[in-house]
Amino acid sequence: MKTILTLASMRIRITLRNKAFLFFSLVMPMGFFFAFCSLLAKGIPERITFWMGPILSLTVMGTFWGLSMQLVTWREQGILRRFRLAPIAAASMIGASIVANFALILPTVILQLTLARVIYHVTNFGNLFSLLVFVLLGISCFGALGLVVASVTNTMQETQIINQLLWFALIFLSGATVPLAVMPRVVQRIGLFLPATYLVSGLQRALVYGTGIFSLWVEVISLAAWGILAFTISSLLFRWEPEAKLPRNAKLWAVSTILPFILLGIWENHNGKLLKQAANMLDERPPANAPAATTPSTNP
């Protein structure tokens, strides 16, 4: 445990000294925050409550980006092999990455909630306990996703490409930017297979309706199952050495981490409950001064 904390505090320090990593954990999330609050929610507190779901989801999901890049860089530069020489287990190394992620992301989350209260006068944050659970769960799960990406990519370029593909899928198909309810049917159907959709949905229901954690069990259990699966598989696939080869079916293992969401996606596509909830939430939002403008694309 001491080793994990030592490694985590080192990672935090290095990350804070690195402008690129800082960008993903602070600058970009704050950019989304101001853009969503001002442009999409037009500064209306009740609407901001709705948009805080996507905003916090983006903040939390961004964690996989910096984490995977750092691990791959460290492996490429032979930094990980120096750590391997010390009595450190692979699980401590990657556990420390997740622990560090909490410290790097939570301040941004708190800052966003505080600014929503102070600048935009938002008073309703729904069920704060549910909110906290989803933020913590999201940081762990998407951190584990970063670990999986790092475990199956060999170079920075590869990591960047995979990250960008994942990022676009996660933000555009899940309701994290454009609400799922206004998306075409086919996108909605795909979105139901993405973990991001359930994070957004869980956060949004906690915020808007103040839903308790037990009523959000589908989201909680699916995200937790995914996180545990991703963490386990990435620690099995963890490579310290730049020249260490990927086991033949490693990519298959990595993809298999998404299994909980394939099952859940099939189920949700079948019963349509989540989509209905998303549509209701969008309809029930208080009207803005301007006629129901929800997204930039539908804006006149």
Partner 1 sequence: MANPILQVENLVKRYDDVEAVRGVSFSVAEGEVFGLLGPNGAGKTSTVEILEGLRVPDGGTISVCGLDPQKDPIALKNEINATLQATSLPDKLRVIEAIRMFAGFYKRNRNVDDLLKRFGLEEKRQAFYHQLSGGQKQRLALAMALVNDPRVLFLDEPTSGLDPQVRREIYDIIEELKREKKTIVLTTHYIEEAERLCDRVAIVDHGKVIAMGTPRELKQKSEHTSRIEARFARPASNGTLKGLDGVNDAREVGGAYVLHCQKTARAIVSLVKHLEAENNELISLEISTPSLEDVFIELTGRRLRD
H or E segment and range at residue 53? helix 45-61
Choosing from 1, 86, 186, 290, the residue that interacts with partner 1 (CB under 8 A) is: 86
Nearer to partner 1, 84 or 189 (CB): 84
Nearer to partner 1, 6 or 256 (CB): 6
Q: Is 79 in the site for partner 1 (CB under 8 A)?
A: yes
State the Cα–Cα distance between residues 141 and 146, nearest whole angstrom. Answer: 9
Six token digits for residue 265: 């996606």
Site string for partner 1, 15-44 (x = CB under 8 A): --xx--------------------------
State the Cα–Cα distance between residues 50 and 37, nearest whole angstrom. Answer: 10
46-75 positions binding partner 1, by CB under 8 A: 74
CB of 24 vs partner 1, minimal distance in Å: 16
Q: Is 241 in the site for partner 1 (CB under 8 A)?
A: yes
Interface with partner 1: number of residues (CB under 8 A): 24
Q: Is 269 in the site for partner 1 (CB under 8 A)?
A: no
* 209 Rama sector, left if φ>0, alpha if ψ -120 to 50, beta otherwise: alpha
Q: Nearest 5°: phi and psi at 116?
A: -60, -40
Output the CA angle 257-156-238, nearest 5 degrees.
Answer: 40
For the chain, the distance separating the N- and C-terminal CA atoms, rounded to the nearest angstrom, is: 56
Q: Which stretch binds partner 1 (CB under 8 A): 33-41, 84-92, 226-234, 282-290?
A: 84-92
State the Cα–Cα distance between residues 75 and 154, nearest whole angstrom. Answer: 9
CB of 103 vs partner 1, minimal distance in Å: 16
Q: How many residues does the chain have?
A: 300
- Applying CB under 8 A, which residues contact partner 1? 2-3, 6-7, 10, 13-14, 17-18, 74, 77-79, 81-82, 84-89, 240-242
